[in-house]
Structure 1
Amino acid sequence: MDKRNETSGADFILLGLFLDMKHIRFFIGAMLVIYIVALTLNFVLILLICVDSHLHTPMYFLLSQLALMDMTLISSTVPKMATNFFSGRRNISRVACGTQIFFFLTLGIAECILITLMSYDRYVAICNPLRYTLIMSQKVCLQMAAIWAGGALTSLAHTAYTMHFPICGSREISHFLCEVMAILKLACDDVSAYEKAVTVTSIVVILIPLSLIMSSYALIFLATLHMKSPEGRDKALATCSSHLTAVCLYYGPAMVVYMRPNSYHNPKLGQVLLVLGPILTPLLNPLIYGLRNKEVVGALRKVLS
């Protein structure tokens, strides 16, 4: 298509979520309920970790970072989706679209790294308990918090390169958010090389942390088999199983969406998977990591009393 037809200043049009669904208003309402509950649970979790001195440990520091990321991640998608639906205006400016891509990628990459660090923290706590305070020192925890910077730099590069492509013809995005692969479908230039680069980056960002996570939990599982205390073994296995459930819910959709060739890209499947990942995961994480934890429940009872 002729690049002279490109309209760089025009807004994009977000067509929304599941256009052919009959009860779309009920679905959007359910998304808003999930959003409010997720914000409340994550905020309460952060508050408990801050006010209870018993929770001032590396594990709960990482958990507070995860809760903060989840609050920001779900806030980068659901409010705009709901606003567009109820207002009837589906446009989003090029700057706002790039901003949404930036935050979405930053938080996605940062969470991949953070969940990996949390699995390592559990490995050290169970397999090397005597050296835990030495390995997971306060300095190490602060260094771990720098994962925000790593995610921001990577996403900034991808956002800038994605948004520099000229857009010709239709500016309709068949999605409820601005997303890299959806923007590339509208580009005038040949983006096949960059699509491959996105796939390679996704493999590095997803598979390497996932392999480290699985290795950590495999070592934890082997260590629990040699535990003499049945209660300790059951507690460790229960913790690992719940954490692996959260890992599957987060990494599964990301692998399907970003690690498949673009020729096999299905927009409807991508929408379903992005609902499971960035929207449902912030709701489930505080339940899986926090409220199933006896120490967190005890801190909550103290605050309520």
Structure 2
Amino acid sequence: MDHVNHTWDQTFVLAGFNISEMLRPLAFLGTLCVYLLTLSGNVLIIVLVKADSGLSTPMYFFISVLSFLELWYVSSTVPTLLHTLLHGSSPISSVTCFTQLYFFHSLGITECFLLCVMALDRYLAICLPLRYHALMSTQVQRWLAGASWMAGFSAALVPASLTATLPYCLKEVAHYFCDLAPLMHLACVDTGWHAQVHGAVIGVATGCNFVLICGLYGGILRAVLKLPSAASRAKAFSTCSSHMTVVALFYASAFMVYVGSPGSRAEGTDKPIALVYALLTPLLNPIIYTLRNKEVKEAVRRVSDRIRKIWRGPL
């Protein structure tokens, strides 16, 4: 109990990136621009899905839920990144640190479940088209989205709570936010058992969902190849291409960091990779879903026309 109280009373220091003072303002402005573009892009998708009836389908409902998640996901780490870029190594209270750890992993695991749900949606739409709307009713959509959030936030309790109860002898976190591996390097005790538990929880959550996604897309591929014409096959594949791209980006970067024991890698090696899945992937998701999707482009046009008409109305 004394160890726990000491842990929650102490202050950690986020090391951030080791860059020169001259480059800090440029890195800060670049990161801030990416952050604002990410927020704008994901808010745009949420607004489009709500405002345009042409996007009132299960697929776009889940895309809007993913965009809502990305708003919180990117905001769980980027503010501390901006602070370290502006001020260098920055102190962070243990309460804030462990809260950040919990929400970052909760949202990340939730995204794993949500991407699996989106693959299930595409599977039902392509493989069971006649029963699709009955199987994917509004109630089912909301239940699947809610279950993804509940599963993610429940699974993350295990690694976050175990990490929060470790005794810490060092305080400098070799990262720009509080993550499992850099925190475990600071512990006074052997963290081998904790690393195995973390790896099991995160591995099961990400691995099982990834296997399910691969299985669902295997079924989609078989169904599409049976379609009679090349045009119908191309149309079926086009509805899945954006989601497959997002899945590839998310899992490729996440597996590089979280496959294996979280405490087994050299300190500081996760920072560049973390920028990919914690900053760039949330930015690319809305771009992928808009630039590669005719329906979204048409929705942007319709909503823009409505806004222009409203704006010119009083004139």
What's the TM-score, normalizing by structure 2?
0.89
Question: Which has the larger displacement, 65-74 or 21-30?
Answer: 21-30
Query: How far apart are 1:191 and its partner, in Å?
Result: 1.6
Matches of 1:28 and 1:157, distance apart in 2 = 34
Cα 1:208–1:21 shift into 2, 3 Å: farther
Whether contact under 8 Å (1:69, 1:107) holds in the other structure is yes
Match of 2:162 in 1: 161
Q: Say whether the 8 Å CA contact 1:49–1:61 is kept in structure 2.
A: yes
Q: Secondary structure at the match of 1:92?
A: strand
Contact kept, 8 Å, 2:45 with 2:64, in 1: the verdict is yes
The Cα shift of 1:229 comes to 3.0
1:105 Cα deviation from its structure 2 partner: 0.7
The gaps in structure 1 that reach 5 residues or longer are none
Following superposition, the deviation at residue 89 of structure 1 comes to 5.8
Report the Cα distance in structure 1 between the residues aligned to 2:19 and 2:72, rounded to whole angstroms: 26
Distance 1:262 1:287, change over 3 A: closer
Task: Tell me whether 1:174 sits opposite 2:174 in the alignment.
Answer: yes
Listed as ranges, the matches of 1:50-199 within 5 Å are 50-88=50-88, 90-146=90-146, 147-168=148-169, 170-199=170-199
User: 1:21–1:246: structure 2 CA closer, same or farther, 3 Å change rule?
Assistant: farther
What are the superposed Cα offsets for residues 107-146 of structure 1, whole Å, 9 maximum, x if unpaired? 0010000000001101111111111001111111111122
Contact 1:8 1:166 survives alignment (8 Å):
no
Matches within 5 A, 1:258-273: 258-262=258-262, 264-273=264-273
SS of equivalent to 1:167: coil
1:235 CA drift (Å): 2.5
Size of the aligned set, in residue pairs, is 301
Q: Given that residues 84 and 176 in structure 2 are in contact (C-alpha distance below 8 angstroms), is that contact kept between their aligned partners in structure 1?
A: no
| Distance (whole Å) between structure 2 residues aligned to residue 273 and residue 34 of structure 1 | 16
Contact 2:48-2:299 at 8 Å conserved across structures: yes
Matches of 2:242 and 2:21 in 1, distance apart? 33
How far does the alpha carbon of each residue in 1:1-26 deviate from its partner, in whole angstroms, 9 at most, with x for none? xx7xx665231100002557984543
Residues 208-223 of structure 1 correspond to what in structure 2 (within 5 A)? 208-223=208-223
Q: CA deviation digits over 1:204-237, x for unaligned, max 9?
A: 0111111111111122122221222322211222
Offset at 1:270? Answer: 1.2
Q: Contact (CA 8 Å) 1:12, 1:172: kept in 2 or not?
A: yes
- Whether the aligned pair in 2 keeps the contact of 1:18 and 1:24 (CA below 8 Å) is no
* 1:18/1:268 contact within 8 Å kept: no
Report the counterpart of residue 246 of structure 1 in structure 2: 246
Counterpart residue number, 2:301: 301
Where structure 2 has 5 or more consecutive residues not aligned to the other structure, the ranges are 306-315
Structure-2 separation of matches of 1:185 and 1:157? 18
CA distance in 2, matches of 1:95, 1:8: 6
Report which stretch shifted further, 16-25 or 154-163.
16-25
- The aligned counterpart of 1:15 is 15
The one-letter code of the counterpart of 1:200 is A
The one-letter amino acid paired with 1:278 is: A
- Give the secondary-structure state (helix, strand or coil) at the position aligned to 2:233: helix
1:204/1:196 Cα in 2 relative to 1: closer, same or farther (>3 Å)? same
Deviation of 1:193 after TM superposition, in Å, equals: 0.5
Alignment of 1:192-207 (within 5 A): 192-207=192-207
C-alpha separation in 2, matches of 1:241 and 1:190: 44
> Mean alpha-carbon deviation: is it higher for 233-242 or for 125-134?
233-242
Q: Structure 2 CA distance, aligned partners of 1:67 and 1:10?
A: 35
Q: Given that residues 45 and 67 in structure 1 are in contact (C-alpha distance below 8 angstroms), is that contact kept between their aligned partners in structure 2?
A: yes
Tell me which amino acid in the other structure corresponds to 2:197: A
Q: TM-score, normalised by structure 1?
A: 0.92
Equivalent position of 2:286 in the other structure = 286
C-alpha distance in 1 between matches for 2:139 and 2:250: 28
Rounded Cα–Cα distance in structure 1 between residues aligned with 2:269 and 2:187: 22
